Amino acid sequence: MTLQQQIRGNRWRTGLLFILFGVLIAMVLGAASFAVDLPLLIVIGVGMIVYGVVTWYASGTMVAALAGAHPVGRDSYPELWQAVEAAAIGAGLPSTPAVYVINDPAPNAFAAGRNPKHAYVAATTGLLAVMNPRELRAVMAHEIAHVRNRDVRTMALAAVLVGVLLIVSDILLRVTLFGGGRDSNPFAIIGLIVALILAPIGAMMMQMALSRRREYQADATAAEITGDAEGMAMALAVLDADKRQIHHVARATAHLYIESPLVKGRGLFGNLGGLFQTHPALDLRIAALEEAGGFMLNREAATAGLPPEALMSPSDRGE
Amino acid sequence: MIWIIVVLAVVIILLAVWLVALYNRLIRLRVEVQTGWANIDVQLRRRYDLIPNLIEAVKGYVAHEKGVLEAVTEARTGAMSARGPAQTGTANGALASALGGLFVVAENYPDLKASSNFLQLQTELANVEEILAASRRYYNSTVGRYNATQVTVPTIFVARFGDFGPAEFFEEEDQAVRSAPQVSFDQ
């Protein structure tokens, strides 16, 4: 699939996403209209539209604040800037995005912003410590690929809409359970409660599914931008081997990172966990790159430079 | 009767919209090619601007290797006066190999290699090369797309109505590879 088709596909999916969320919200509001007074519904609806618009325009700043990322100058991080600039020019972006850094020993990175002009990329200090220049270029190219493929916009929209839906269902659930409804039909109330619980779960699964496909595409685009598929695979191998978890992370921003920042689910929902993962397994992503690039990654060589504390799982460190 | 006219009008309008969209696609690609070339141009200028400083930094150490320095200066002048992507690419290939020659010579002068000014210029030049490589990849893939779009159906039908034409690729031809010695096995 060429890049233009991918961008067009993303536009189309963004539109579809918007419509699906609209339908979900309308269904929730419609179901609620049996139990909640109309004026209250209108107030909630208008409030949510205002909330959605505000968070859309503030999304970039909000994500940076949630992640603990701060903008840095070229002089303090010349290598990172160089990698971002090379990737941005290689991707044909209209301008080089701003560069942010997160003070965290776990290696990770993300891109955010509602369009290429307002986009920025963020890297943790841990990423800068464990990656060699070639791998760093690959990771930055991956983030720039998210910007160029308009993934950041779709993801920002998805995050805003999921947020709106979560709040609407939450408010309505409370009103239905504790407020005096007009309708005392118990079946209608139970149906409504089920709908209010299921809608946000469906929305979140949609968000996760959107994100997983994009990671493969961004890996491929990054390999195209840098002309170095192996460098991308090496960087992923390092991310896979490094067991440290990023500290500042909000569930709502998990889908933005290059590697899933969340501890993988175990126990009761272990097998269903795949549906709620924001990222495909790194093994699968490395395999896809190997197939496309026609090489076999030497994982031991790629991860030889990692410090010993990176290889310990969180439980070994007593966290 | 009225229906036939309506249907005909709708078909003509749709056709016109489609043709305009095809034409716009070519225009968009041409703009992308121009942007890609502007990116390359910025990096080439950075490279040209660094060379006098580099020669200044090297001069004191390698005074009796004049030929190498002159070759770089000449190649720079040649590159700056080149016009168009193809010519500029060839001229910059010559410049790159002249610079390569300079760095090979520099290997023989430990004082020069240890000079912080020289090291910094070398790093800056390497940074320019890296971004230049990235902009070249983008430019050439855009040119490829632009040229292919003009000669394929359906855009080929509208390509003749605008100021289009094949764009030149930008390749820095490596002189060293070109002038590789011919290996002969008859003896």
Query: For chain B, how many structural domains are there in total?
Result: 1
Which of B32, B35, B130 is nearest residue A86 as measured by Cβ atoms?
B130
Q: Is residue B185 part of a domain?
A: no
pLDDT mean over A246-264: 69
pLDDT mean over B154-169: 86
Whether omega for the bond prior to residue A105 falls within 30 degrees of 0, making it cis, is no
- pLDDT of A123 > 50? The answer is yes
Q: Is residue B180 part of a domain?
A: no
Domain containing B44 equals 2-170
Domain containing A129 equals 3-311
Instruction: Write down the mean pLDDT value for chain A.
Output: 79
Please give the residue of chain B at the shortest CA–CA distance from A225. Answer: B134
Please give the residue of chain B at the shortest CA–CA distance from A82. Answer: B127
Question: Shortest Cα distance from B65 to chain A (angstroms)?
Answer: 33
Q: Is residue A318 part of a domain?
A: no
Pairing mode, strands A109-112 and A98-102: unpaired
What distances in angstroms separate CA B112 from CA B106, B116, B123, B156, one per listed residue?
7, 9, 14, 57
As a whole number of Å, the CA-based R_g of chain A is 21
Please give the residue of chain B at the shortest CA–CA distance from A2. Answer: B145
In 3D, which of B16, B12, B11, B22 has the Cα closest to residue B158? B22
Please give the residue of chain B at the shortest CA–CA distance from A92. Answer: B138
Q: Count of CB atoms within 10 A of residue A308's CB?
A: 6
Which residues of chain B does A226 touch, with a Cβ-Cβ cutoff of 8 Å?
A: 134
Work out the pLDDT band at B179, boundaries 50, 70, 90. Answer: low
Query: For chain A, how many structural domains are there in total?
Result: 1
Q: Residues B101, B73: contact at Cβ < 8 Å?
A: no
List the alpha helices (DSSP H) in chain A: 3-32, 38-67, 78-91, 125-130, 133-148, 151-178, 186-226, 229-241, 273-276, 282-293, 299-302, 308-311
- What CATH number has the domain bearing residue B74? 1.20.1440.20
Question: Shortest Cα distance from B33 to chain A (angstroms)?
Answer: 10
pLDDT digits (tens, 9 = 90+) for B17-59: 999 999 999 999 999 999 999 999 999 999 999 999 998 888 8
Work out the pLDDT band at A193, boundaries 50, 70, 90. Answer: confident
Q: Among A214-223, A263-272, B78-87, B94-103, which stretch is predicted with the lowest mean pLDDT?
A: A263-272
Query: A82 and B131: CB-CB below 8 Å?
Result: yes
Q: Residues A162, A200: contact at Cβ < 8 Å?
A: yes
Query: B39 and A87: CB-CB below 8 Å?
Result: no
- pLDDT of A266 > 70? The answer is no
Q: Is residue B17 part of a domain?
A: yes
Query: Which is more confidently placed, A151 or A270?
Result: A151
Query: A227 and B137: CB-CB below 8 Å?
Result: yes
Question: Shortest Cα distance from B164 to chain A (angstroms)?
Answer: 20
In 3D, which of A103, A108, A93 has the Cα closest to residue A139? A108
- pLDDT of A272 > 70? The answer is no
Work out the pLDDT band at B132, boundaries 50, 70, 90. Answer: very high
Query: Which is more confidently placed, A9 or A218?
Result: A218
| pTM across the whole model | 0.77
pLDDT mean over B88-93: 91
- pLDDT of A29 > 80? The answer is no
Please give the residue of chain A at the shortest CA–CA distance from B29. Answer: A4
Which residues of chain A does B142 touch, with a Cβ-Cβ cutoff of 8 Å?
A: 92
Q: Is residue B178 part of a domain?
A: no
Q: Is residue B31 part of a domain?
A: yes
Which residues of chain B does A225 touch, with a Cβ-Cβ cutoff of 8 Å?
A: 134, 137-138
Grouping H, G, I as helix, E, B as strand and the rest as coil, residue B161 is coil
Which residues of chain A does B135 touch, with a Cβ-Cβ cutoff of 8 Å?
A: 89-90
Q: Is residue B177 part of a domain?
A: no
- pLDDT of A242 > 80? The answer is yes
Residue B113's Cβ-count burial label (10 Å; 0-12, 13-18, 19+) is: middle
Angle made by CA atoms B77, B130, B53, in degrees to the nearest 5: 40
Residues from A in contact with B at Cβ < 8 Å: 4, 82, 85-87, 89-92, 94, 225-227
Q: Residues A118, A111: contact at Cβ < 8 Å?
A: no
User: Looking up tokens 């501890």, which residue turns up?
Assistant: A263
Question: Shortest Cα distance from B133 to chain A (angstroms)?
Answer: 8
**pLDDT for res B81:** 92
Work out the pLDDT band at A268, boundaries 50, 70, 90. Answer: very low
Q: How far is A266 from A256, CA to CA, in rounded Å?
A: 22
Which residues of chain A does B134 touch, with a Cβ-Cβ cutoff of 8 Å?
A: 86-87, 89-90, 225-226
Q: Mutate one of B137, B146, B155 to test the A interface: name it (highest A CB count within 10 A).
A: B137
Q: Is residue B141 part of a domain?
A: yes
Q: Is residue A319 part of a domain?
A: no
What distances in angstroms separate CA A165 from CA A23, A234, B134, B136, one per listed residue?
11, 39, 42, 45
pLDDT mean over A45-73: 86
pLDDT digits (tens, 9 = 90+) for A154-184: 878 877 877 787 787 777 777 777 765 555 6
Q: A122 φ, ψ to 5°?
A: -125, 140
Query: B130 and A89: CB-CB below 8 Å?
Result: no
Work out the pLDDT band at A194, boundaries 50, 70, 90. Answer: confident
Q: Point out which residues pair with B51 in neighbouring strands.
A: none
Query: A225 and B137: CB-CB below 8 Å?
Result: yes
User: Looking up tokens 């890996």, which residue turns up?
Assistant: A219
Query: A89 and B127: CB-CB below 8 Å?
Result: no
Q: Point out which residues pair with A120 in neighbouring strands.
A: A98, A112
Which residues of chain B does A89 touch, with a Cβ-Cβ cutoff of 8 Å?
A: 39, 131, 134-135, 138
Q: Is residue A233 part of a domain?
A: yes
Q: Is residue A52 part of a domain?
A: yes
Catalytic residues of A: 143
